[in-house]
């Protein structure tokens, strides 16, 4: 059991700003000696119930989308993260989210999260393709089949649904988010504030 400050990161693998937020959190939390707790969830059900839309708001509102892609490019340049605009957006993230939940308590969990974001937003790979997911697991030093099998189990499906429902109940409406001592911070922009809150 750890007595270091805890920071929950609630993210969505399909979300552009989650890429920046997760990458920054991995660096920032290490520097600040804060323990990160990874909470993948699905934005789709939240957008459907909260906004009544079936697609990313960045596709539904092209003016916002155009700005977001330019902003993302600038942010990746600023922080030194590789970036290649994905040819498909948003990508289906159900399988990778379930795998990440399998990995939540495993040493390979954070590596897998990082490699999925890299595949989606730096390499333009199809993260919903099980063979891509298997290759990413393999790169993380994990034998893919047992993990994929577990990810497809009824139990894991229920866990991801529950986590998504929990996100909604926490007042989440986008991604990424950071929660420190029950305080919700939305957006990769709020990472430093969230870390400061965790260290209070």
Nearer to a copy of itself, 131 or 169 (CB): 169
CB of 56 to a copy of itself, least distance (A): 15
Residue 191 phi, psi dihedral angles, 5° rounding:
-55, -50
**Subset of 118-137 contacting a copy of itself (CB under 8 A):** none
CB of 14 to a copy of itself, least distance (A): 20
What is the sign of the dihedral through the CA atoms of 111, 163, 90 and 94?
Answer: positive
**Subset of 48-87 contacting a copy of itself (CB under 8 A):** 50-51, 61, 63-64, 66-67, 70-71, 74, 78
Instruction: Work out whether 165 is an interface residue with a copy of itself (CB under 8 A).
Output: no
Nearer to a copy of itself, 130 or 187 (CB): 187
Query: What helix, strand, coil percent values describe the chain, rounded to 5?
Result: 60, 10, 30
Q: Which residue, 107, 130, 165, 105, is CA-closest to 116?
A: 130
CB of 102 to a copy of itself, least distance (A): 30
Helix/strand/coil for 68: helix
Residues in Cβ contact with 39 at an 8 Å cutoff, skipping those fewer than 6 apart: 8, 9, 10, 11, 163, 167
Using CB under 8 A, list all residues that contact a copy of itself: 50-51, 61, 63-64, 66-67, 70-71, 74, 78, 171, 173, 184-187, 189-190, 193
């Amino acid at each position: 059991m750890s007595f270091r400050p805890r920071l929950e990161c609630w993210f969505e693998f399909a979300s552009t700003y989650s890429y920046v937020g997760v990458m920054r959190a991995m660096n920032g939390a290490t520097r600040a000696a804060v323990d990160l707790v990874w909470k993948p969830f699905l934005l789709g059900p939240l957008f459907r119930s909260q906004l009544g839309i079936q697609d990313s708001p960045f596709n539904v509102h092209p003016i916002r989308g155009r700005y977001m892609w330019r902003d993302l490019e600038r942010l990746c340049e600023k922080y030194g993260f590789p970036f290649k605009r994905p040819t498909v957006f948003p990508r289906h993230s159900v399988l990778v989210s379930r795998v990440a939940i399998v990995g939540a308590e495993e040493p390979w969990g954070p590596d897998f999260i990082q490699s999925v974001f890299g595949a989606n937003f730096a390499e333009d790979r199809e993260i919903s393709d099980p063979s891509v997911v298997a290759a990413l697991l393999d790169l993380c030093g994990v034998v893919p089949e047992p993990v994929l099998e577990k990810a497809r189990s009824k139990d894991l499906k229920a866990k991801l649904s529950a986590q998504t429902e929990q996100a909604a109940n926490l007042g989440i409406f986008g991604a990424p988010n950071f929660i420190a001592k029950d305080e919700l911070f939305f957006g990769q922009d709020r990472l430093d504030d969230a870390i400061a809150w965790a260290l209070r």
